[in-house]
């Protein structure tokens, strides 16, 4: 049978439950995923005075062909985007500025250092998001930045974050879609602290100074990101979930939930509904932790499906900003982008094909037998036929056919670097 014929059969199957598959496919087109640029070069960046990766971040593997400059990175992103259905966004870090060989300190970065990225985004119909880079720098060598006891070091990072929000605002104004500017810091201690409060007071004061400088929310959205622990901050992280949750709520900022930044038994999917009750918007960095925040390539596992279900069943596709955050150097980096992003979109499609309203009704009626039975049955409904049709309709390879394009790109481009 053809892809179209399989799709028509799937339509009939889902229609029995009141799911309009054609409507679902149209709606999915409008959901952007913010694809992280740093998968393409192992979070190295392109600073002239490039520093060793630090801040509790680790990238393992040495697969050949990583991007060595911004032009190569953009080329790799274009290849990945050609294999991913839909129109999406690109998420940049400050270390991806282009300074034409000039050493520019991070607190001196300006919109002009990202003009090439904006021009490229316009040409490709992409939005841009942004992150100040508060790691891999001599002023972060001791694991403290915005909470540092040294005021001069704190001011350096405060100014970097202020400048970053201006850069995000520039992205939004130029591209007609607001940039999410997200602040994550590595601050913490390896061993048990004798004072947990003082560093958090300094962090709060630093954030207050950063956000005292106004940006236009039409163009820039501010987010703060927590973490439970990291390499070198196993015992204490200044920017904990409780700290940032409270800060975001009190100061009308977005709270960003990274799926790798919690205790191994915690799930971000379980937090989404609570957050939506009290926040107009929230942001996600979707990763795959393997026993820790190891940032493996996103796969179509139960938690990814549950995250998508929580977004869809709560009618929050326009309230949850979905970004990705993984970096695997043990496999082809362009393939990693393709696998992870396609899986995020697959999870959303899966969630949109479930008759969520009927399942809610069963729960309200106390009919837990039918609820469980149907939730399990829908796991093997012909969602794959709809996915194949969606890919074909969007002009990207169907099923594993995209692998051949990756092989060709590796042979013709990546292997020659």
- Band (pLDDT 50/70/90 cuts) for residue 56 is low
Q: Are strands 188-189 and 236-237 parallel, antiparallel or unpaired?
A: antiparallel
- Please list the residues that pair with 91 across neighbouring strands: 36, 129
Q: Residue 405 pLDDT more than 80?
A: yes
- Please identify which of the residues 227, 271, 305, 346 carries the catalytic annotation: 227
What number of CA atoms fall less than 13 Å from residue 199's CA on the CB side?
21
- Residue 293 annotated in active site: yes
Of the listed 79, 93, 137, 285, which one is catalytic? 285
Through-space distance between the first and last CA atoms of the chain, rounded to whole angstroms: 42
Reduced to 3 states (helix: H, G, I; strand: E, B; else coil), residue 358 is helix
The string of pLDDT tens digits covering residues 335-353 is: 999 999 999 999 999 999 9
Catalytic residue among 157, 184, 337, 387: 184
pLDDT tens column, 28-42: 999 999 999 999 998
What is the band of 305 on the pLDDT scale with cuts at 50, 70, 90? very high
**pLDDT class of 113 with cuts at 50, 70, 90:** very high
Q: Is 42 a catalytic residue?
A: no
User: Of residues 187, 258, 303, 410, which has the active-site annotation?
Assistant: 258
The two tokens of residue 62 are 């040495």
Q: Kindly report, residue by residue over 96-110, the tens digit of the pLDDT.
A: 999 998 999 999 999
136, 95 contact by CB (below 8 A) = yes
Q: Is 157 a catalytic residue?
A: no
- The CA distance from 245 to 319, in Å, is 17
Is residue 346 flagged as an active site residue? no
Cβ atoms < 10 Å from Cβ of 361: 12
Write down the mean pLDDT value for the chain.
95
- For the cut 90, the answer to whether the pLDDT of residue 129 exceeds it is yes
Q: Is 325 a catalytic residue?
A: yes
Q: According to CATH, what is the number of the domain 32-350? A: 3.20.20.150
What would the two tokens of residue 39 be?
A: 């998968």
Query: Active site includes 160?
Result: no
How far is Cα 173 from Cα 182, in angstroms, rounded to an integer? Answer: 17
Of 88, 166, 204, 261, which one is the catalytic site residue? Answer: 261
Q: What percent of the chain has pLDDT over 90?
A: 90
pLDDT tens digits along 173-200:
999 999 999 999 999 999 999 999 999 9
For residue 258, the cross-strand partners are 285
Tell me if residue 222 is catalytic: no
Q: What is the pLDDT of residue 112?
A: 97
Q: Active-site residue 328, yes or no?
A: no
pTM for the full model?
0.96
pLDDT band at residue 47 under the 50/70/90 scheme: confident
Percentage with pLDDT > 70 across the chain: 99
Cβ atoms < 10 Å from Cβ of 103: 9
Is the model's pLDDT at 55 over the cut of 90?
no
| From 293, 303, 310, 388, the catalytic residue | 293
Per-residue pLDDT for 302 more than 70? yes
Give dist(CA 351, CA 308) in Å, integer.
6
Contact call for residues 147 and 197 (beta carbons, < 8 A):
no
55 Ramachandran zone, left/alpha/beta (phi>0; psi -120 to 50): left
Among residues 182, 260, 187, 188, which one has the least CA distance to residue 224? 182
Residue 124 predicted with pLDDT over 90? yes
Report the pLDDT value the prediction gives residue 53, as an integer from 0 to 100: 67
Do residues 89 and 346 lie in contact, with contact meaning Cβ atoms separated by under 8 Å? no
Residue 166 confidence class, pLDDT cut points 50, 70, 90: very high
Angle at 145 between CA 139 and CA 151, to 5 degrees: 85
Single out the catalytic residue among 42, 169, 295, 388.
Answer: 295
Task: Report pLDDT digits (tens) over 249-291.
Answer: 999 999 999 999 998 889 999 999 999 999 999 999 999 999 8
What's residue 291's pLDDT? 87
Q: Annotate the chain with three-state secondary structure.
A: CCHHHHHHHHHHHHHCCCCCHHHHHHHHHCCCCEEEHHHHCCCCCCCCCCCCCCCCCCCCCCCCCCCCCHHHHHHHHHHHHCCCCCCCEEEEEHHHCCCCCCCCCHHHCCHHHHHHHHHHHHHHCCEEEEECCCCCCHHHCCCCCCCCCCHHHHHHHHHHHHHHHHHHHHHHHHHCCCEEEEECCCCEECCCCCCCHHHHHHHHHHHHHHHHCCCCCCCEEEEEECCCCCCCCCCEECCCHHHHHHHHHHHCCEEEEECCCCCCCCCCHHHHHHHHHHCCCEEEEECECCCCCCCECCCCCHHHHHHHHHHHHCCCCCCEEEEECCCCCCCCHHHHHHHHHHHHHHHHHHHHCCCHHHHHHHHHHCCHHHHHHHHHHHHHCCHHHHHHHHHHHCCCCCHHHHHHHHHHHHHHCHHHC
Model confidence band, residue 163 (pLDDT cutoffs 50, 70, 90): very high
List 169, 225, 328, 410, catalytic entry: 225
Average pLDDT over residues 214-233: 93
> Given this model, what pLDDT does residue 172 score?
98
Catalytic residue check, 318: no
Domain borders along the chain are 1-30+353-417, 32-350
Q: Read out DSSP for 167-206?
A: HHHHHHHHHTSPEEEEE----EESS--S-SHHHHHHHHHH
The CA distances from residue 389 to 6, 10, 329, in Å, are: 8, 10, 31
């Amino acid at each position: 049978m053809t892809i179209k014929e399989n799709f028509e059969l799937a339509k009939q199957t889902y229609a029995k439950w009141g799911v309009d598959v054609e409507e679902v496919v149209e709606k999915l087109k409008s959901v952007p995923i913010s694809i992280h640029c740093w998968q393409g070069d192992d979070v190295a960046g392109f600073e002239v005075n490039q520093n060793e990766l630090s801040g509790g971040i680790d990238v393992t593997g040495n697969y050949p062909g990583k991007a060595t400059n911004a032009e190569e990175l953009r080329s790799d992103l274009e290849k990945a985007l050609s294999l991913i259905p839909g129109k999406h966004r690109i998420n940049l870090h400050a270390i991806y500025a282009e300074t034409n060989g000039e050493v520019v300190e991070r607190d001196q970065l300006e919109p002009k250092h990202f003009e090439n990225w904006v021009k490229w985004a316009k040409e490709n119909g992409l939005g841009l998001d942004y992150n100040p880079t508060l790691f891999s720098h001599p002023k972060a060598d001791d694991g403290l930045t915005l909470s540092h006891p040294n005021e001069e070091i704190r001011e350096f990072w405060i100014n970097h974050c202020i400048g970053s929000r201006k850069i995000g605002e520039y992205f939004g104004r130029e591209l007609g879609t607001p940039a999410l500017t997200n602040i994550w810091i590595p601050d913490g201690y390896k061993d048990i602290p004798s004072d947990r409060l003082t560093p958090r007071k300094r962090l709060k004061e630093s954030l207050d100074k950063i956000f005292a400088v106004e940006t236009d929310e039409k163009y820039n959205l501010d987010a703060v990101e927590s973490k439970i622990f990291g390499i070198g901050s196993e015992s204490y992280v200044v920017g904990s979930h409780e700290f940032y949750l409270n800060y975001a709520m009190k100061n009308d900022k977005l709270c960003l939930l990274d799926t790798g930044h919690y205790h191994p038994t915690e799930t971000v999917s379980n937090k989404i509904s609570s957050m939506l009750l009290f926040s107009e918007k929230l942001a996600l960095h979707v990763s795959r932790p393997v026993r820790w925040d190891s940032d493996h390539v996103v796969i179509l596992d139960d938690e990814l499906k549950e995250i998508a279900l929580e977004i869809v069943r709560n009618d929050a596709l326009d309230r949850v900003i979905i970004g990705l955050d993984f970096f695997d150097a043990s496999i082809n980096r362009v393939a990693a982008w393709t696998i992870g992003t396609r899986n995020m979109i697959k999870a959303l499609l899966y969630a949109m094909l479930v008759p969520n309203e009927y399942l809610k009704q069963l729960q309200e009626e106390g009919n837990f037998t039918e609820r469980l039975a149907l939730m399990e049955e829908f796991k093997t409904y012909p969602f794959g036929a709809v996915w194949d049709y969606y890919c074909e309709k969007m002009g990207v390879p169907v099923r594993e056919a995209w692998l051949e394009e990756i092989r060709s790109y590796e042979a013709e481009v990546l292997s020659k670097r």
